Amino acid sequence: MRYGYEYTYEYDYPANQGAEAGVLISIMLLTFTVIFLLALVSYIFHSIGLYTIGKRLGKDYPWLAFIPFARNYFHGELAGEITLKNRTIKNPGIWNLILPIIESTLLGIFVFLIAIIGSLSAATAAAGIGGVGIGLSLIIGMYIFLIMFAIVMSAVRMALSVLINRQIFGRFTCGNMAVVYSVFSLTVPLYEAFCLFVMRNKEFDGDMEQKTE
């Protein structure tokens, strides 16, 4: 007697699964495209604003406004010397350029050290040598320090940005409006770029126009 066995495998895929994946990919591509276009528009408007203001102030090499990183320096130099009570920031452009570099470098070093300590702790634990508690304590301590350092550096950069923009916007406005524009530039996306672009050809406030002639 022969017995026949027949197995039938059927996989039931949802009919709309491929369509949903296509819609999701389309949404992601559209989102990235919009972000890229907004970033490009912001970069162009920001650069044109800095370039025009720099020319009106008689700055050398106003074309630096269009070059990445170099325009951070140029942006700060447009502010001129910044006076804070008894102290003066003589080269805000240099600080505006190097602070992000210093922050990124030190953060990278801290992350590398945390990774090294974590790897050594894992290796000693696997070898049965011990020392996991010490390594974990060091990692936690460095991680806390890393967070505090990032917060402090971010606060310093934001404060410098407000001071620079306040001095630049102060050439076109009066009263406390320069501070308002500076704070909005720090918190509202695209605001700084459009503000510089709109103000670039406005008359200077007070006798600033005479100083640049």
Is the pLDDT at 16 greater than 70? The verdict is no
| Four-point Cα dihedral 52, 56, 59, 61, nearest 10 | 40
Instruction: State the pLDDT at residue 160.
Output: 92
- Cα(17)–Cα(21) distance, rounded to whole angstroms? 6
* 3-state SS class at 84: strand
Is the pLDDT at 172 greater than 50? The verdict is yes
Is the pLDDT at 35 greater than 50? The verdict is yes
- The set of residues, in sequence order, having a beta carbon less than 8 Å from that of 46 and lying 6+ positions away, is 65, 71, 192, 193, 196, 197
Q: What are the CA-CA distances from residue 73 to residues 63, 76, 161, 170, 196 (Å)?
A: 12, 5, 12, 19, 16
Q: 87 forms bridges with which residues in the sheet? A: 84
pLDDT digits (tens, 9 = 90+) for 177-211: 889 999 999 888 899 999 999 998 888 874 444 34
Amino acid identity of residue 175, one-letter, is: G
Instruction: State the pLDDT at residue 22.
Output: 73
- Cα(80)–Cα(96) distance, rounded to whole angstroms? 12
- The set of residues, in sequence order, having a beta carbon less than 8 Å from that of 131 and lying 6+ positions away, is 121, 124, 125
- Cα(157)–Cα(110) distance, rounded to whole angstroms? 19
Confidence of residue 125 (pLDDT cuts 50, 70, 90): low
Which of these ranges, 35-44, 56-65, 142-151, has the smallest mean pLDDT?
142-151
* 3-state SS class at 160: helix
Confidence of residue 27 (pLDDT cuts 50, 70, 90): confident
Domain borders along the chain are 17-212
Confidence of residue 18 (pLDDT cuts 50, 70, 90): low
- Cα(213)–Cα(210) distance, rounded to whole angstroms? 5
